[in-house]
Amino acid sequence: MAEKKPVKICETILRDAHQSLIATRMPTDLMLPILERMDKVGYHSVECWGGATFDACLRFLKEDPWQRLRLIRDGLPNTKLQMLFRGQNILGYRHYADDVVEDFVEKSIANGIDIIRIFDCLNDLRNLKAAVDATIKIKNREGRGHAQIALSYTLGDAYTLDYWMNMAKQIEEMGADSICIKDMAGLLLPYKAYELVSAMKSATSLPIDLHSHYTSGVAGMTYLKAVEAGCDIIDTAMSPLSMGTSQPATEVMVETFKGTDYDTGLDQNILAQIADYFAPYREECLKSGLLNPKVMGVNIKTLLYQVPGGMLSNMVSQLKEQNAEDRYNDVLNEIPKVRKDMGEPPLVTPSSQIVGTQAVFNVLMGERYKMATDQTKDLLRGKYGQTVKPMNPEVIEKVIPGEERITCRPADLIPNELAKIEADMKEYKQQDEDVLSYALFPQVATDFFKYRQAQQEKVDVTKADTTNNAYPA
């Protein structure tokens, strides 16, 4: 090792760690007192927004996610803030028009985000373009904003080293600032990571960030080999909310590289103070049941079946509902077949649910594709975008016979909609950002707006009739 190459750390405790372990329930009040300490660490970035945090704020915590972002921005003046952004879905569950995507990027950066990690469940780069272009535009205008494109990591015939290298080149051509390998299921093995990162490094000069989960027990080793292959940034979580379905522990990775050319330079004493702060919260979550010890262990099935853990547990509950738990192995065998029929997509939200549910249907109905979900139909129609391999023409003919399929970028068919959305919700609007909250989660945002209004009018919300969503005026 000739030159020093400190590994950079993206800290996830304010986003993915609590999303993965405690259903995204960490409230803003718990975050604020420790921000001053966290700002002294020298993290490459702190991931603190996007993903499920937005929905969880509005729905369960009755918090304004934009206010959370502004408070974290104030508390971390010297640290880059990072968010997760699901391409044309933004943080919601459908494709949005470009004007909504652009406005969301604009407001995210205006309220404090520096790095936007953008991904698509099919790795269809066309679904990332609007968000990436919007970020680049702001960067050119204001000198702030970093577009990171994340590739959903998966296994399968289509996903050769050539595939990943070719994707890396395309990402560089799109003008992105960095690339993330997003291993949401913890499938990436240490030596495979070495090969993958080496190959991608040979194809691009962009920094590479590795994001994995400890689900299958290998992520710490995977990070080590990835760093040896030249990986620039790793995503870790402070120990109290690390491992299990979360990320490897920050302190452990920092200590692993200490004294080597990859030394992060981070101060274990400051990290220890942060860990001490979060430790009682972990205990509290264990006691209340919010943190289930089940998610803390090693789920070896993930590696055996190459299927995300969450998808397996969904499948079990679907089979249980139908009193068909004895068909578990049949469904496990059916999953790779359905995935092939659908063009071998990565298995991440929402493609994981679509493939998993269809596999259950195919087994229980006794005839493949006798019944198909609306989501299966939309995927076959091309409404989610293009898959890496062609879909099975016989399945297309059986499920959506005679229908014309979409081959363009799906959002090209969605006219601008921001003005209409604003008109629909203007009675609740207190800030421009409210329009975007409503665009993503119309019902949940409306409930939140009503709650907020009741609070402002100093109404006793405990007397509110929440079942009927009526608050005393």
Q: Which is nearer to Co ion, 85 or 438 (CB)?
A: 85
Q: Which is nearer to Co ion, 308 or 410 (CB)?
A: 308
Tell me what percent of the chain is helix, strand and coil, each rounded to the nearest 5: 55, 10, 35
Q: Which is nearer to Co ion, 83 or 421 (CB)?
A: 83
Query: What is the rounded distance in angstroms from the CA atom of residue 336 to the CA atom of residue 259?
Result: 44
Contact (CB, 8 A) for 213 and 241: no
What count of Cα atoms within 13 Å lies in the side-chain half-sphere of residue 16?
30
The site for Co ion, by CB under 5 A, has a size of 1
Segment near Co ion (CB under 5 A), from 9-17, 23-31, 399-407, 461-469? Answer: 9-17
Segment near Co ion (CB under 5 A), from 12-20, 270-278, 319-327, 434-442? Answer: 12-20
Query: What is the rounded distance in angstroms from the CA atom of residue 341 to the CA atom of residue 371?
Result: 15
Q: Is 433 in the site for Co ion (CB under 5 A)?
A: no
What count of Cα atoms within 13 Å lies in the side-chain half-sphere of residue 134?
26
- Cβ at position 84, least distance to Co ion in Å: 8
Q: Which is nearer to Co ion, 10 or 132 (CB)?
A: 10
Query: What is the rounded distance in angstroms from the CA atom of residue 6 to the CA atom of residue 270?
Result: 18
- Cβ at position 183, least distance to Co ion in Å: 8
Segment near Co ion (CB under 5 A), from 16-24, 196-204, 281-289, 458-466? Answer: 16-24
Q: Which is nearer to Co ion, 9 or 391 (CB)?
A: 9
SS3 64: coil
Query: What is the rounded distance in angstroms from the CA atom of residue 103 to the CA atom of residue 175?
Result: 19
- Cβ at position 11, least distance to Co ion in Å: 13
- Cβ at position 286, least distance to Co ion in Å: 22
Query: What is the rounded distance in angstroms from the CA atom of residue 289 to the CA atom of residue 266?
Result: 33
Q: Is 334 in the site for Co ion (CB under 5 A)?
A: no
Segment near Co ion (CB under 5 A), from 10-18, 39-47, 102-110, 194-202? Answer: 10-18
Q: Which is nearer to Co ion, 16 or 64 (CB)?
A: 16
The values of phi and psi at residue 30, to 5°, are: -75, -25
Task: Name residue, tokens 């509290």.
Answer: 284
Q: In this structure, which amino acid lies at residue 356?
A: G
- Cβ at position 16, least distance to Co ion in Å: 4
Segment near Co ion (CB under 5 A), from 14-22, 70-78, 202-210, 284-292? Answer: 14-22
The tokens of 335 are what? 């999953």
Q: Is 16 in the site for Co ion (CB under 5 A)?
A: yes
Q: What is the number of H-type helices and E-type strands within the chain? A: 21, 8
Segment near Co ion (CB under 5 A), from 8-16, 111-119, 276-284, 315-323? Answer: 8-16
Query: What is the rounded distance in angstroms from the CA atom of residue 104 to the CA atom of residue 71?
Result: 18
| Helical (H) or strand (E) element with 311 | helix 309-321
Q: Which is nearer to Co ion, 111 or 245 (CB)?
A: 245
In 10 A of CB 414, how many CB atoms?
Answer: 16
Cβ-closest position to Co ion: 16
| Binding residues vs Co ion (CB under 5 A) | 16
